Amino acid sequence: MTTQTNDAHRRPHDRIVNPRLDELPDYPFERLRGLLDPLSAPKNLDPVALSLGEPQHPYPDFVGEILHANRHLYGKYPPVAGTPDFCRAVADWLTRRYALPQGMVEAERHVAPCAGTREALFRTAFMAVPPTKAGRQPAVLMPNPFYQCYAGAAIAAGAEPVFVSALVENGFLPDFAALDEDVLARTALVYFCTPGNPQGAVASLEYLENLVALSRQYDFTLVVDECYAEIYNGATPPAGTLQVCAQDGIMSGVLVFHSLSKRSNVAGLRSGFVAGDPDMLTLFRQLSEYGGNPSPLPVYAAAAALWRDEGHVSANRALYVEKFDLAERILSNRFGFYRPEGGFFLWLDVGDGEAATVELWRRAGLRVLPGAYLSADSGSGENPGNRYIRVAMVHDKVVMADVLGRMAETL
C-alpha cells in the first residue's frame, strides 16, 4: 500500500521514466515541510527560518550599481566560458587567497564560471562517472552527513553513492582511505566539502594532500566544495586543494568549487566558479554549450568586482564571529555546543533531532533542520545525523540573540 502511494507520488503519469530516479529520496526541505506544516507555531512569536543556508547579511552596494550600469547587456546571450574579465578576477583571487605560484591558474584554461555551484556540482557527476569502473558499477564517495546535491548527482549519473561517516570521533572528517580496496577500486568520484556543511570541520593541508594522493592512486575525480572557505573562525584561513596541486603543478583530476552565495551574501545572483583540471574544464564548458545556463553578462561584471573586493568579505566574517560569540555565551556546555572552525551552521547534539525540531517549531516558532535529513543510514543501519539539528546562523545579531534565547529555553 505504501509503495503504491509512493509510486503514485513519484510517477504522476503512466509513462516510462528513468527508474534510477526512484532512488532519489525526498529533498530535506520537502521532508521538513511534511514534518512541520501540519503543526502550528506560537501566535505571539515571529517565526524564524534557520533551516536554509541563505545569508541575510547585506551585500555591497556596488553590486546593484554594476548590474544597473550593464543593464543594456541583458539582451545578449552570455558566453558559457564567462568573460575574460570574470575569469581573470577569479584566477587572481585564487592566486592571492591560496598564495599559488604566479601563472599556475590561467584564467582561460583553469577557470569556468557557473550559475551557482549546485548545478555545476551536479553536472560534474555526469562527466566523472563512466558506465563501469573496474568492471562494476562505479562508486561515488561522499561524507555522511553531506550536501544533498552530491547524492542526487551520484544516483542520477548511475553510480552507487557511498556514505563515509564524518563523526565527532574523527573530527567530522571522513576517512576515505580506510574504505575497502574493493570500493576504492571502483570509485569514480569523491565529493568532499571543507569547511564542511553541516559540521563546519576544516580539513588541514595534510588531509587534503592525502586525499589528492588517494585520488591519484585510484584514479578518481576529486571534487572539493570550498564554498564556505571565506567564513571561518580564527586568524588562519582554511587550506585549499589547489595548494596541494601547487606542490607539483599537477591539477589533473582535481576540481574545486567556490561560490559568491555565502562569501558575498548574494545567493540570488547565482554565481560561482569551478577551477582545476583543464581537460575536465574543457568538457565542462562543452556540456555548458549543450545544456548549460550561463550567468547574464551584468552578473559576470558584478561577480568579477566581488572577487576583487576583500573588504566586504572580512566585514562579513566578523559578523559571523560576533554571532558565534553570542551562541557560545547562550548555549555553551549544552547540546554538545562547539564552535565550528568554518561555515555558519550550529550542529547541535540534542538527542533526537526530529523531536527537537518539532518542539522548537511548536513552542518557539523556530524552523531548524533535523540532522537525519542531511545524512544517510550507515552500514550498521545507524543514521549519524539522528541526534543532531542544524541551525543556520544567517540572520543579523539582534534576531540571532532572540532566536538563541528561545532555543535555550525550549530545549
Ligand X SMILES: Cc1ncc(COP(=O)(O)O)c(C=O)c1O
The residues binding ligand X (CB under 6 A) are 53, 116-118, 147, 193, 197, 225, 227, 259, 261, 267, 272
If the CB atoms of residues 221 and 261 are measured against ligand X, the closer one turns out to be: 261
Neighbours of 374 (CB within 10 A): 24
If the CB atoms of residues 33 and 362 are measured against ligand X, the closer one turns out to be: 33
Of 190, 179, 182, 227, nearest to 344 by C-alpha is 227
Q: How far is the CB of 409 from ligand X (least distance, A)?
A: 29
Q: How far is the CB of 147 from ligand X (least distance, A)?
A: 4
CB 304 within 8 A of CB 62: no
If the CB atoms of residues 123 and 387 are measured against ligand X, the closer one turns out to be: 123
If the CB atoms of residues 49 and 183 are measured against ligand X, the closer one turns out to be: 49
Three-state SS for the chain is: CHHHHHHHHHCCCCCCCCHHHHHCCCCHHHHHHHHHCCCCCCCCCCCEECCCCCCCCCCCHHHHHHHHHCHHHHHCCCCCCCCHHHHHHHHHHHHHHCCCCCCCCCHHHHEEEECCHHHHHHHHHHHHCCCCECCECCEEEEEECCCHHHHHHHHHCCCEEEEEECCHHHCCCCCHHHCCHHHHHCEEEEEEECCCCCCCCCCCHHHHHHHHHHHHHHCCEEEEECCCCCCECCCCCCCCHHHHHHHHCCCCCEEEEEEHHHHCCCHHHCCEEEEECHHHHHHHHHHHHHHCCCCCHHHHHHHHHHHHCCHHHHHHHHHHHHHHHHHHHHHCCCCCCCCCCECCEEEEECCCHHHHHHHHHHHHCEECEEHHHHCCCCCCCCCCCCCEEEEECCCCHHHHHHHHHHHHHHC
If the CB atoms of residues 292 and 365 are measured against ligand X, the closer one turns out to be: 292
If the CB atoms of residues 246 and 260 are measured against ligand X, the closer one turns out to be: 260
Neighbours of 84 (CB within 10 A): 13
C-alpha cell at 210: 592525502
Q: How far is the CB of 53 from ligand X (least distance, A)?
A: 4
If the CB atoms of residues 52 and 168 are measured against ligand X, the closer one turns out to be: 52
If the CB atoms of residues 145 and 365 are measured against ligand X, the closer one turns out to be: 145
Q: How far is the CB of 148 from ligand X (least distance, A)?
A: 9
If the CB atoms of residues 123 and 406 are measured against ligand X, the closer one turns out to be: 123
Please give the Cα distance from 220 to 28 (Å, whole number). 28
If the CB atoms of residues 52 and 408 are measured against ligand X, the closer one turns out to be: 52
Q: How far is the CB of 225 from ligand X (least distance, A)?
A: 5
Q: How far is the CB of 59 from ligand X (least distance, A)?
A: 13
Q: How far is the CB of 264 from ligand X (least distance, A)?
A: 11
Q: How far is the CB of 271 from ligand X (least distance, A)?
A: 8
Q: How far is the CB of 28 from ligand X (least distance, A)?
A: 11
Which amino acid would we find at residue 250? I
Q: How far is the CB of 302 from ligand X (least distance, A)?
A: 15
